[in-house]
Amino acid sequence: MFENLAWLILFLPLLSVAAITLFTRSKPRASAQISIFAVIAAFVLSLIVFVFFRGSETNSLPQASVPWLWVGDFKADIGLRLDALSLGMMLIVTGVGSLIHIYSWGYMKDDPGFARYFASLSLFTFSMLGIVMADNFLMMFIFWELVGISSYLLIGFWYEKASAADACKKAFLTNRIGDFGFLLGILMVWAVLGSLNFQDLEIRLVPHMKDYAPVATAAGLLIFCGAMGKSAQFPLHVWLPDAMEGPTPVSALIHAATMVAAGVYMLCRVFFLLNVPGSHALEVIAWIGGFTALLAALIAVQQNDIKRILAYSTLSQLGYMVMSVGMSGPTAAMYHLTTHAFFKALLFLGAGSVIYAMHHEQNIWRMGALKKKAPATYWTFMVGTLALSGVWPLSGFYSKDSILAQALETNHIALFVLGVFVALLTTFYMFRLVFVVFFGGARSEAADHAHESPDVMTWPLRILAVMSIIGGVMGIEGLYTKQFAPNAEGHAAGFGQQLLAPFSHSPLAAYLGLFAVIMGLGAAYALYSRSLFDPLPEKLGWLSRAMRNRFYFDELYERVIIPFTQEALAKFANAIDRWIISGFMVRGASGTTDLVGRALRLLQTGSLQTYAFLLVAGVALVLYLVLLR
Amino acid sequence: MHIPLEHYLIVSGILFSLGLLGVIMRRNLLVIYMCLELMLNAANLALVAMSRFNDNLNGQIMVFFIITVAAAEVSVGLALIVALYRKRQTAHVEDLTTMKN
Amino acid sequence: MSILTNIILCPLVAALLLCLVPRNYRLIMRIVGMVATFISMVMAIVMFWRYDSAPMGPSGSFKFEEMHKWVDALGISYHVGVDGLNVGLILMGAIVAFAAACACWEIKEREKEFYILLLVMTGGILAAFASLDIFCFYFAHELALVPTFIMIGVWGRGENKNYATFQITLYLSIGALVSLIGLIALYVQSGVQSFDIVTLTEQLKQHPLSARDQNFIFPLLLFGFGILVSLWPFHTWAPLGYGSAPTATAMLHAGVLKKFGLYGLIRIALPLLPQATHAWLNVIAWLALGNIFYCGLVAMRQKNFNWLIGYSSVAHMGFVFLGIASLNLIGITGAVLVMIAHGFLAALSFGLSGYLYNTTGTLEMDKLGGLLRRMPFVGTALIMAMFAGCGLPGFANFAGEITIFFGAWKSFPLVTGIAVWGALVIGAVYMLRAIRNMLHGPLPEKWQAVAESTWPLRKLPYLILLVSLLVFGFFPQLLTDKIKPSAQKIVTMATGASETVAQNDEPPVVKAKHK
């Protein structure tokens, strides 16, 4: 019965897409209502299933699956897997998704593509739910691709803007490179273990360990490629900041709460395939995550576009999560993913509210003193910032702490130090943003005339703010612990204990984390509380320039790597095709035929008697050959 | 008096060669046409001689066929030549090379 | 008369009827063309629907079978029937034919001849796929091929028209001739004095040809059929020809007729020449890569949209060859799936590009831009076609391609790896580039006034093709359930494995491996 509900959760958004495209395309309000209704209904149903699941004391609800494509050994199902991991994610996707849908009602109000926007949002929700609920690799891959395409549609929503059209293309292609690795990884795992179903694979892994161990590193890294694309890890991180070309609610949905989380979620889902003795995949994953976290945080320090700062912050936090998975800590990763979904969605929506208030101005140095003009936005944004920085007792503190603690537990000292440094940078750039945008004096005309956003936009902010505050003490960690370490005993029963748990559990991580926050806050206050322009470029010189230019990765890719590999190959192939195959060979062959034809034509004089003579000569020749020889 | 077969065949051969030469060398379509008839009749002569020599009528029947067909052919051919002459005011083969190219 | 014969005869009879219609009755000609193909399509759908419940014909492996002796002395007969391999192809052919007949609005002169040729081509295509007699199979293909040449030559577009006609005619005639030599050699060497595929199969199963004969015949068939399918490096005719062809012709040829060679390979070459097949598998796999990877790269450099989809259609053929090269149940099933999916896709892309050409007068991608705003329906359909082309799930192509990858992975991991790159990355690069250049971005001044027709009938062909792609993309089992048993037969014959290979379709049971 609950499985059937789960099917409904999955397909409600798809029904909404179908309804909008087929029937209500020309009625924007109705389309939006359908879409919002679908996602809220999905949320409520998820909640029901979740409550049932918590009550059932099992590790996962029975799988329901329907064969989709079975040929020989290749058996792809559409099946649902409902356990703590997927149910938690379903709640995030539909819950945060609902708020963003509602917010969009206000934000996108005057856009001519209102119906199309909501259809794409619903499609995105459907695809994301598919990834989350998939019980096998192939279904995950299918929805993986669908997420790619729906994000393409959303990022390129304002497709007439050249920059948006380029950004959506770049996002999709970068993701496709990751998917290439992902699919190869799936093929590899399938060839060795003979199944695509996660549960099946987990069971088969033990007896087949001898076969799997040799390919474990390769398969693990290939699968990680998929996560690299979706979760925008170095070196495939370049698409995410550009993707800010989409409408701001889309940024909140895709680049904070859901799509980018898919990579981390996938790594957690297949963690048993990565965590194999003899495999070095996890080590590589941890370092790539750590490097991305540091790189993105450094870049974020010198960005001036409010959405880009948040985008790089997202990258950096995703690096954290990936690092955590790499340090064998999927629980911590999922924990941070969940809390991050709350406060990053909050921040993005807050940024949207700021942009709305500023009449679509995104440069923070043209804002200022918005605290008075938009109080609700200010307060909620502040909560999000504090949570992201990891201030006790907000949610971010707990989840970040559990990642740092994980690093200490598994003896990744270098990564631990890196993590603390990134936490410092995070606080610094976030408060830089807050000081510049909300405090100081108004730096432009628009900032003077800014106004608060309508209720339909501020209420989602308030709800998300509440979630960001209490996210750390809701028992989210316990939920995921149940998934990844079912045998571990549940600790921290009382509320007070839970509140202070990190300090007793791993004091070093907790105190250093708080110390980093204070340092970052202090530095940001000193530099930005009253300044009219950014003092850092002068002080840092070339480093600041490099940070502002994203360490020249885009330039490297666009001017060096792509032109000299794939494009060069394409040019080469095209030249061969044009000059050698169709030029030399085909035209050569036809040219030869043509020449022979021309030569033979000389014989055709058109004179009747020549023909007659030739005829007679031929007959004579034949007669001579037949009779006289 | 008995005339041996060879004589008939030699006459027939000479007639045929004359016809052939005419077809190849003459320029006037009408003359070419007449030469063609000459060749046909050479063949007829050979057939009749053979028939007589072999003592059966197959050759003679064949000749009747040929004469009939030749009559039909002449009527069509002459009609074509006349039509051509009317159109081009010439019956010389050298002037009729439009099939070239 | 079997329903199959009706499907084939319907367009041919209509072509005869059209001969009697005076040439200024334009509307009637259109209607006859559309109605005839429509009836064919409906019957094909009925046949597809009833396929599972239909009884086996006399030969034991084909349904809706019908056979009449024709030239007894040579062993030629009219023999048609369907099994899993061609039932989907006939359905696809009939649907594409209807769509093509609907998309003929651009033809403004000599319509009578055009419609007659179109219907003859349709009849030939359907007959070719339905034939179980090698002679008829070949004959029907030629019946469809010759109108293609004429249509490109007379109603084609662009400056290159004559050269294109010239090249496509020569290329395809040579391909057909080479394969004809192979087929005749097969007929002679088999020693049964019969062109009937069923008889031949039985005979060669009992008395396989000698290795020498097989090694002589197989390359003839491979390259003969290969040329017809634009196998690398014999592919240059395809973009050139499709670039100049009138819309309906390109739809029918790229969509359906081109699959004839692949079908011939699977139906005739693989099962009848098992030994030679094995020897050539590696070659086929690497040639397939020539299609997928190399032609994909070339497609990236195209500036003309029609050339781009021409090359992309060549690239897609590579997947089918890869599926054939894997020579197992998964690969062959996937190959047939891709053939069907690509039929819809190619027809859709060429149909839409034709529409675009007729509205704007150019397909040079630099000159277009931002057209989605002015042409919402065509633009959206085109975007969906491009997505299908880069293998997006939800469209039938994804189901086929993924099946092929799974089939080929175990035998050719390296080739499959590169092919996956070709499918996922290169395909996406050129498809998205096309969308970016033509549909997205700012709308140039020149196209401000462009508008699409609001008449629903103009949209019909594209809708039908899109729906087909989506239906088979969502429910590929509709096809694979039919394909599997027949593909299994082919694989069994080609690999010489025993017939008892179980089709383990039971739900996944976890088994520990005993060593």
Indicate the pLDDT class of residue A43, thresholds 50, 70 and 90: very high
Q: Which two tokens stand for residue A361?
A: 């101005």
Above 60 in pLDDT, residue C505? no
Chain B: closest CA distance from residue A615 (Å): 10
Q: What is the DSSP letter of C367?
A: G
- How many A-B residue pairs are in contact by the CB < 8 A criterion? 24
Packing angle of the helix pair A84-107, A455-470 (nearest 10 deg):
150
Percent of chain A with pLDDT over 70: 97
Q: What is the pLDDT of residue B44?
A: 93
**What is the pLDDT averaged over residues A61-79?**
84
Q: What is the pLDDT of residue C510?
A: 41
CB contact under 8 A, C300 and A567: yes
Q: What is the pLDDT of residue C509?
A: 40
Q: What is the pLDDT of residue C322?
A: 93
Q: Closest to A616 (Cβ–Cβ): which among B20, B93, B100? A: B20
Instruction: Delineate the domains of chain B, giving CATH numbers in brackets.
Output: 5-96 (1.10.287.3510)
Q: What is the pLDDT of residue A1?
A: 65
Above 70 in pLDDT, residue A465? yes
Residue with tokens 């082919």, as numbered in its chain: C490
Residue in chain B lying closest to A613 (CA): B24
Indicate the pLDDT class of residue C164, thresholds 50, 70 and 90: confident
Residue with tokens 């108004």, as numbered in its chain: A442
Q: Which residue has the higher pLDDT, C507 or C431?
A: C431
Q: What is the pLDDT of residue A494?
A: 63
Q: pLDDT tens digits, residue range A109-161?
A: 888 888 889 999 999 999 999 999 988 899 999 999 999 999 999 998 888 88
Contact (Cβ atoms closer than 8 angstroms) between residue A239 and residue A306: no
The residue ranges of chain B whose pLDDT is under 70 are 1, 98-101
Per the structure, the complete domain to which residue C186 belongs is given by 3-514
Best mean pLDDT range from A192-201, A485-494, A595-604 = A192-201
Partners of residue C420 in chain A, C-beta under 8 Å: 180, 183-184, 187
Above 50 in pLDDT, residue C512? no
- β pairing state of A74-83 and C76-82: unpaired
Q: What is the pLDDT of residue C202?
A: 85
ipTM: 0.90
**What is the pLDDT averaged over residues C390-397?**
90
Q: What is the pLDDT of residue A288?
A: 92
**What is the pLDDT averaged over residues A374-392?**
87
A163 touches chain C (CB under 8 A): no
Q: Closest to C424 (Cβ–Cβ): which among A165, A180, A207? A: A180
Q: Which residue has the higher pLDDT, A55 or C282?
A: C282
Contact (Cβ atoms closer than 8 angstroms) between residue C200 and residue C190: yes
| Residue type at C461 in one-letter notation | P
CA atoms within 13 A on the CB side of C255: 34
Q: What is the pLDDT of residue C46?
A: 92
**What residues does A70 pair with on adjacent strands?**
A75
Indicate the pLDDT class of residue A491, thresholds 50, 70 and 90: low
Average pLDDT, chain C: 87
Q: pLDDT tens digits, residue range A492-530?
A: 456 666 777 777 777 888 888 888 888 888 888 888 777
Average pLDDT, chain A: 84
CA atoms within 13 A on the CB side of A522: 6
Q: Could you give the number of structural domains in chain C?
A: 1
A142 touches chain C (CB under 8 A): yes
Chain B: closest CA distance from residue A629 (Å): 21
**What is the pLDDT averaged over residues A367-386?**
84
**Sign of the four-CA dihedral A549, A553, A556, A562:** negative
Q: What is the pLDDT of residue C501?
A: 40
Q: What is the pLDDT of residue C515?
A: 35
Q: pLDDT tens digits, residue range A252-296?
A: 888 777 888 889 999 998 888 888 888 888 889 999 999 999 999
Distances (CA, A) of C164 to C143, C233, C244, C295, C301: 20, 17, 7, 19, 20
Percent of chain A with pLDDT over 90: 14
Best interface-test mutation with A: which of C420, C425, C440, C501 has the largest number of A CBs within 10 A? C440
Q: For residues B29, B31, B34 and B36, what is the CA-based torsion angle, rounded to 10 degrees?
A: -60
**Sign of the four-CA dihedral C276, C278, C279, C283:** positive
Q: pLDDT tens digits, residue range A217-264?
A: 889 999 999 899 888 888 888 888 888 888 888 888 887 778 888 899
**Sign of the four-CA dihedral A544, A548, A551, A552:** negative
CB contact under 8 A, A607 and B98: no
Q: Which residue has the higher pLDDT, A370 or A123?
A: A123
Exposed/middle/buried for residue A131 (C-beta within 10 Å: 0-12, 13-18, 19+): buried
Q: pLDDT tens digits, residue range C30-58?
A: 888 899 999 999 999 999 998 888 888 88
Q: Closest to B93 (Cβ–Cβ): which among A604, A607, A616? A: A607
- The CA distance from A229 to A234, in Å, is 9
